[in-house]
Structure 1
Amino acid sequence: MNSDQYTRIITALQDSADVRPSIRAGALDGAVFVGSGDSLSSGLLASAFGHRALSSGDITWTGRLPAGAEIVVGISHSGTSGATVRALRLAREAGKRTIAITSNPDSPLAAEADELQLVPSLGIEEVVPVAGHLMLGLGVAAVCGVDTAEATNDLAHVIAAQRDVIDGAIQGLPASAPTGISLLTLPELRGAGDFWMLKLIEATGLTVRTVALEESGHVDYFIGPDAHLTLQLVGKDGSARFERLAVALESTGQTLQRVGLLRGDTGADIRGSLLFELAGAAVGTLVADAAAAKWGRPPFRGGAVNMDARHIKLDEEPAAV
């Protein structure tokens, strides 16, 4: 494990100011959370509160709001992600309530919003990034009415408790890169699984997919015969089903690895569940970084990928997600 990155994440969270809720109280009926890349993963956390999450391009590049959308919440750490800014602009022009979750109050995204939920920036150097997602996730929690007092410190504690999990997951990785990776989840870790997928793609350049646990049982039995790695992200739910499915998939030649994340004392309420998901995302980032090193596949294809990302810019402005 990259111990320096692990320590930086925990220390930055412990030293960070809290996310302070700033959205007016009231129902979020008809709320749709939108973002791109890591920010979409942050938006997916809102599904635990009964809200919808969409890629911002689903609105921007169709020119249509989804049925029943009355509030559009745009998520971007920099506030310059092109499709997300345009999606919020379209919603505002349609007379809908707009909310921005960002670390940049002077950003184009903030300018398109009726209301602004600011999140602190952790300000740490990262190769495979997760810090922005952690803070945006807490911003989503604040918009959804969760008490975020001491949440950054509590999140640091949950991540710190995963050290043995991270080390075990890294040690269990196959010696050479597989042809592809599947991530199996139940709802309690679905958002974390989505983020693992993004980070494994960025870090290793491999094809990675997320699969609901039972759907893997229906279709993944046929994957092969090339080497395929299946990572089971296991929390408190469905342990016996994970085990039974592992036996079936191993019988077809797949490499199975169980990653049992520790819920610890986060509590059984929705706040605890959200902290657990965010901690899972941090674990996935550290595992992805280690997988790239183990398999000799440097992140972002070792510089072969043009990282100016012009295709997601807002006009001519940089548009980091």
Structure 2
Amino acid sequence: MTIPEQLSVVVSALRAVPDVQPTVQPPLDRAVFVGSGDSLSSALLATAYGHRALSSGDLTWTGRLPHGTDTVVGISHSGTSGATVRALRLAADEGKRTIAITSNADSPLAAAAAETQLVPSLDIREVVPCAGHLMLGLGVAAVVGEDVAAAASNVAQLLEAQAPELLRAVEVLPADAPHAISVLTLPDLRGAGDFWMLKLIEATGLTVRTVPLEESGHVDYFIGPQPHLVLQLIGSVGRARFDRLAVALESTGQTVQQIALETGRTPLIGELAGAAAGAVFAHQAATRWGRPPFRGGAVNMDARHIKLDEEPITT
């Protein structure tokens, strides 16, 4: 499938999906948003609004909440991610406010929460998925008090605006797969960068990491001598610093690719459009390098190891 075809599927679905209907009552005091995998990328979006985001396992497997936590928001599209359900149960046991963001009102996650923010599902078939993250991200927006009226359509519009840069970025990819990939960001695209990392891992099976821009400037020029691809996701700020760092990394033999993404009028909309672009980019990179997504079926995708052991799995 070509880039325009992939984008058309996502854009059409975004324009057809109903708006998220906010149900959580403000204010949201000292909240920690938790999730796993794609849902952790959704949780990271809340940091732009002054909240914290952690892997749900950070709470579940340590058995304690971060200091100063008043509210725990658990995020899972299916509502069956084991660590996230357990994190909400832990918070409830400690008398904290609990909120679930999910598409499944009958899920264990919804049952564990005092309040539930439901999100619709995008009815699309995907190889490298982004639909769940897009809807959960809009659920995060609703919970933090962002105006979500026509938000999905706004994401679609911005994703279309990113299409020319996405086409260019795929065209200039190296012909052969690198040994590893680093994704560099500033805070305006940090959540998108995290999602790019996840999708590149799923699609290519390569080692991929995300790095704050300045930290790359401190350590990344030591990477080598194996082929290494650096993707600089550039938003509305810091272009001069990205450029200067690109020169330094290229001088050590690394391949640096700059991808300038339109970020739109609100941080969250820009992050979500950037994340969807990342899923398309990852699929195209896997095709170019002859690396079938999910290691060509070698990976067991039932994900039972992250579900609740003692409860039935629902869809």
TM-score (ref. length: structure 2): 0.97
Read off the aligned partner of 1:69 and give its amino acid letter: T
d(CA) in 2 for partners of 1:282 and 1:82? Answer: 26
Q: Which amino acid aligns with 2:279?
A: T
Query: Which residue in the other structure is 1:99 paired with?
Result: 99
User: In the alignment, residue 92 of structure 2 is paired with which amino acid?
Assistant: R
Structure 1: which 5+ residue stretches go unaligned?
A: none
In the alignment, structure 1 residue 295 sits paired with structure 2 residue 296: no
Aligned with 1:44: secondary structure? helix
Output the CA distance in 2 between the equivalents of 1:105 and 1:3: 34
**Gapped regions of structure 2 (runs ≥ 5):** none
Counterparts of 1:1-321 in structure 2 under 5 Å?
Answer: 1-26=2-27, 28-263=28-263, 266-267=264-265, 272-315=266-309, 317-318=312-313
1:258–1:210 Cα change, 3 Å: same
Deviation of the 1:319 alpha carbon:
7.6
Aligned partner of residue 87 in structure 1, secondary structure = helix
Between the aligned partners of 2:235 and 2:4, the Cα distance in structure 1 is: 24
Amino acid in the other structure paired with 2:23: S
Name whichever of 61-70 and 191-200 sits farther off.
Answer: 61-70
Output one character per residue of 1:221-280: Cα deviation in whole Å (capped at 9) or x when no partner: 1111110000000012111111111111001000010001123xx32xxxx111001110
**Aligned with 1:233: secondary structure?**
strand
Please tell me whether the aligned partners of residues 107 and 314 of structure 2 are also in contact (alpha carbons under 8 angstroms). no
Which amino acid is the alignment partner of residue 236 of structure 2?
K
Q: TM-score, normalized by length of structure 1?
A: 0.95
Distance 1:285 1:235, change over 3 A: same
SS at 2:40 equivalent: helix
CA contact (8 A) 1:82 1:319 kept: no
- Contact 2:203-2:286 within 8 A present in 1 as well: yes
What is the CA distance between 1:126 and its match in structure 2?
A: 0.7
SS of 2:110's partner is: helix
Q: Does the 8 Å CA contact 1:232/1:259 hold for their aligned counterparts?
A: yes
Q: Helix, strand or coil for the counterpart of 2:59?
A: helix
Matched residues, number: 313
Structure 1 residues 28-71: Cα deviation after superposition (integer angstroms, max 9, x where no partner):
22210000000000000000010000000011111111111111
Is contact 1:2-1:289 (8 Å) kept? no
Cα drift, residue 3 of structure 1: 3.2
Q: Name the aligned partner's letter for residue 133 of structure 2.
A: H
C-alpha distance in structure 2 between counterparts of 1:303 and 1:318, whole Å: 22
The structural deviation recorded for 1:166 is 1.1
SS for the counterpart of 2:209 is strand
Give the Cα–Cα distance (whole angstroms) in 2 for the partners of residues 138 and 165 of structure 1.
24
Instruction: Give the Cα separation in 2 of the matches to 1:41 and 1:83.
Output: 15
Partner of 2:226, secondary structure, is coil
Q: Which runs of 4+ in 1 moved over 2 A?
A: 1-5, 316-320
Q: Deviations over 1:292-312 (max 9, x none)?
A: 000000000000111122210
Percentage identity across paired residues of the two chains = 69
For residues 137 and 158 of structure 2, what CA distance do their matches in structure 1 show? 15
Q: Is the 8 A contact 2:15 2:152 kept in 1?
A: yes
* SS at 1:211 equivalent: strand
Alignment partners' CA distance in 1, 2:39 and 2:185? 20
| Code of the aligned partner of 1:102 | T
Partner Cα distance (2:148, 2:307) in 1: 31
Do the aligned residues in 2 keep the contact of 1:46 with 1:52 (CA within 8 Å)?
Answer: yes
Whether the 8 Å contact between 1:41 and 1:133 is mirrored in structure 2 is yes
* Residue identity matched to 1:212: P
Q: State the distance in 2 between where 1:205 and 1:140 align.
A: 29
C-alpha separation in 2, matches of 1:67 and 1:208: 31
Given that residues 309 and 319 in structure 1 are in contact (C-alpha distance below 8 angstroms), is that contact kept between their aligned partners in structure 2? no
Shift of the alpha carbon at 1:317? Answer: 3.5
